Homo-oligomer: A and B are copies of this chain.
Amino acid sequence: MANAIVGQSGGPTAVINASLAGVFEAAKSRGAKTVYGMRHGVQGLLKSQWVDLGEHLRDDLDIELLKRTPSSFLGSCRYKLPDAAAQPEVYEEILRILDELDVAWFFYIGGNDSMDTIYKLADYGRSVGSAIRFIGVPKTIDNDLEGTDHTPGYGSAAKFIATQMKEIIRDSLVYDMRSVTVVEIMGRNAGWLAAASALAKGPDCEGVDRIYLPETPFDAERFVEDVNDLQRRKSNVVLAVSEGVRTADGRYVCELGQALGAADAFGHKILTGTASYLAGLLASRLGTKARAIELSTLQRCASHTASRTDITEAYQVGGAAVKAACEGHTGEMVGLSRLSDDPYQCVTVLNDIHRIANREKKVPAAWITEDGAGVTDELLRYARPLIQAELTPISVNGLPRHIYLK
Q: What is A's interface to B at a CB cutoff of 8 Å?
A: 12, 39-40, 43-44, 65, 69-72, 75-78, 159, 162-164, 166-168, 170-171, 173-176, 199-200, 202, 204-205, 256-266, 268, 270, 272, 277, 280-281, 284, 291, 293-294, 296-298, 300-305, 307, 384, 387-390, 392, 395-404
| A265: contacting residue among B65, B167, B277, CB under 8 A | B277
Distance (whole angstroms) from the CB of A389 to the closest CB of chain B: 7
Cα of A281 to Cα of B402 in the assembled complex, Å: 32
Query: What are 14 A-B residue pairs whose CB atoms fall within 8 Å in the complex?
Result: A43-B176, A75-B173, A75-B175, A76-B174, A76-B175, A159-B399, A167-B301, A168-B298, A170-B402, A199-B399, A202-B396, A205-B402, A205-B404, A270-B270
- Which chain B positions have C-beta within 8 A of A175? 40, 75-78
- Which chain B positions have C-beta within 8 A of A39? 176
Knowing A304-B163, A389-B398, A399-B163 are in contact, say whether A272-B264 is a contact too (CB < 8 A).
yes
Q: Establish whether residues A12 and B174, one from each chain, have CB atoms under 8 Å apart when the complex forms.
A: yes
| A297: contacting residue among B12, B168, B204, B403, CB under 8 A | B168
Number of identical protomers: 2
Main secondary structure of the interface of A (DSSP, over half): mixed
Q: Which residue of B lies closest to A294 (CB)?
A: B294
Q: Establish whether residues B170 and A70, one from each chain, have CB atoms under 8 Å apart when the complex forms.
A: yes
| A301: contacting residue among B72, B170, B304, CB under 8 A | B170
Q: Establish whether residues B302 and A164, one from each chain, have CB atoms under 8 Å apart when the complex forms.
A: yes
| A171: contacting residue among B12, B199, B202, B260, CB under 8 A | B12
| A284: contacting residue among B12, B268, B280, CB under 8 A | B268
Q: Establish whether residues A280 and B297, one from each chain, have CB atoms under 8 Å apart when the complex forms.
A: no
Cα of A171 to Cα of B70 in the assembled complex, Å: 7
Q: Establish whether residues B205 and A301, one from each chain, have CB atoms under 8 Å apart when the complex forms.
A: no
Closest 6 CB pairs of A and B: A387-B398, A71-B170, A257-B265, A260-B265, A171-B301, A167-B301
| A71: contacting residue among B174, B265, B270, CB under 8 A | B174
- Which chain B positions have C-beta within 8 A of A291? 297
Cα of A148 to Cα of B78 in the assembled complex, Å: 50
- Which chain B positions have C-beta within 8 A of A256? 265
- Which chain B positions have C-beta within 8 A of A159? 398-399
Cα of A167 to Cα of B43 in the assembled complex, Å: 24
Q: Establish whether residues B293 and A265, one from each chain, have CB atoms under 8 Å apart when the complex forms.
A: no
- Which chain B positions have C-beta within 8 A of A44? 176
- Which chain B positions have C-beta within 8 A of A402? 166, 170, 204-205
Cα of A49 to Cα of B205 in the assembled complex, Å: 22
Q: Establish whether residues B260 and A262, one from each chain, have CB atoms under 8 Å apart when the complex forms.
A: no
User: Which of A12, A43, A159, A166 counts the most chain B CB atoms within 10 A?
Assistant: A166
